Amino acid sequence: MMGLRERILKREKRSMERYKEERETFEKVMGTPKINVSVELPKGYEDRREDFLDLEKEKSFLKDANRALGRVVKKHLKMKEKAEKEKAAESKDKQ
Give the footprint of another protein on this chain (CB under 8 A).
1, 4-5, 7-9, 11-12, 15-16, 18-20, 22-23, 25-31
Q: Measured from the CB of residue 34, what is the shortest distance to another protein in angstroms?
A: 13
Q: Measured from the CB of residue 24, what is the shortest distance to another protein in angstroms?
A: 8
**Beta carbons of 65 and 36 less than 8 angstroms apart:** no
Cβ neighbours of residue 39 closer than 8 Å, sequence gap 6 or more: 65
Measured from the CB atom, the residue of 14 and 71 that comes closer to another protein is 14
Cα separation, 4 vs 12, whole angstroms: 13
Q: Measured from the CB of residue 53, what is the shortest distance to another protein in angstroms?
A: 24
